[in-house]
Structure 1
Amino acid sequence: MAKLKICGLTCKEDIEAVNGAKPDFAGFIIEVPGRRRSLTAERVKVLVKGLDKEILPVGVFVNAAPELPISLLRDGTLWAAQLHGDEDEDYIEKIQNMTGKPVIKAFSIKTPEDVQRALRSPADYILLDHGAGGTGEPFDWTLVPPVRRPFFLAGGIGPENLRSAIGTLHPWAVDLSSSLETDGRKDRAKIQQIARMLKQINTLEAYRKEREADLE
């Protein structure tokens, strides 16, 4: 049953939109220079307070001083830290050891070796993407063998290929951002649409597995 993460939330209206759709995770880009969706840590604290308690907040960081994600994990602002930079194993393990909270490490997938590198990561979850900074484009899914550990799938996923993405790679969660926007802003209707689609896909998958179990 694939979970849903909606990333790049920036304002109160975005919070209201996701509260209505109830994804599993909400992502906030935190203090990343040059990223239009980047927010200060203080702004994220304010927005998270308005988030439905059933939705887990995730902070997205790029080569941040480890004290930044650690502080936001420790004070309860974030459920997990998602790393999109050159953070190494020591960095990941420092956050894990000092907070006891999950770490998601993003990997840019361009070769089979990139996938193997991701699978070796000590992070609690890995995120497979077209580009470590997020490009809004899908990567070559044929590069990914069956994955036994839970992973997030990102990069160019939208209503037109959601079913194919889940049916092909069976990710633990899908991560969407730009495909849920209109003119650079989160679109409430698109968010509702993708949440409904995923619910239908998961319902059909559960029915299929139930039927298979009955036939065994």
Structure 2
Amino acid sequence: MSTTKIKICGLRRLEDVEYVNRNMPDYIGFVFAKSKRQVSEELAEELKNALNPALIRVGVFVNQPVEWVASLIQKDIIQYAQLHGDEDAEYITRLRTYLDKTEVDSDVTDKKTGIIKAVRVKEEADIERANSYDCDYILLDTFSVECEGGNGKTFDWSMIKKMNKPFFLAGGITQENALQAIQEVKPYGVDASSGLETDGFKDEEKIKNFVEKIRKNIG
């Protein structure tokens, strides 16, 4: 059975970095969009410097200037840009141009950068739209009128059967339902944030249980 990647999003404290360094998911996320988990460029760089370099760093954005998003990758604060807003094909093409140049100009060997496009799922047409994006991965999240993502609620996973691009599954993923999600929809990876928190902050015991349960049962 192939390994399911684990992504933990919304790191904003040095304690959060210590938790992931000890438990080693595959990807971590810094939220640059407006959110209670929002971090500044300066804080993200401080957290990145304390992070185990084996962890792949993702920045979360909502309709933010493409040049600024690219600059965070060019400065090696993040490696992937996760786009949660209305970023269209033109935006993605422009960002890809910056990223291709970053990889060519980089002094770091095997420096991998990329784009994750988040799609909020309400109906099957959203899955069809997700398949059309020119990105490295899709992130499927729950549709909400209140926010662009991170509402901690699941959606109808049966719609995912029409997905033909590698994707992360988000939206209410916790240690209680992660294995069911992986077995039912076989995502490239699972993405958790609020489900690994207590009173609004990352909880190391929840992170530990989440990572261990997936690795032990899925590989």
User: Once superposed, what is the RMSD of the aligned Cα atoms?
Assistant: 1.0
Deviations 1:143-178 (A, max 9, x none): 111533211100011111111100010000100000
> In structure 2, what residue type is equivalent to 1:7?
C
Report how many residues are paired.
201
Q: Write the distance in 1 (CA, Å) between the matches of 2:54 and 2:5.
A: 13
Counterpart residue number, 2:59: 59
Deviations 1:173-211 (A, max 9, x none): 1000001000111001100100101101223xxxxxxxx
1:46 counterpart SS class: helix
Identity %: 41
Q: Write the distance in 1 (CA, Å) between the matches of 2:42 and 2:99.
A: 19
Q: Write the distance in 2 (CA, Å) between the matches of 1:77 and 1:190.
A: 26
Change (3 A) 1:112 1:146: closer
Structure 2 contact 154–171 (Cα < 8 Å) conserved: yes
| Residue 114 in structure 1 maps to residue 130 in structure 2 | no
> In structure 2, what residue type is equivalent to 1:50?
A
Counterpart residue number, 2:186: 170
Counterpart residue number, 1:206: none
Of 165, 181, 186, the residue aligned with 2:202 is: 186
Structure 1 contact 144–169 (Cα < 8 Å) conserved: yes
My pick for the range that moved more, 95-104 or 6-15, is: 95-104
**TM-score (normalised: structure 2):** 0.89
> In structure 2, what residue type is equivalent to 1:129?
D
My pick for the range that moved more, 5-14 or 89-98, is: 89-98
Q: Write the distance in 2 (CA, Å) between the matches of 1:144 and 1:197.
A: 23
Q: Write the distance in 2 (CA, Å) between the matches of 1:192 and 1:72.
A: 29
Structure 2 contact 4–218 (Cα < 8 Å) conserved: yes
1:145 counterpart SS class: helix
C-alpha displacement of 1:134: 2.1
Counterpart residue number, 2:108: none
2:161 counterpart SS class: coil
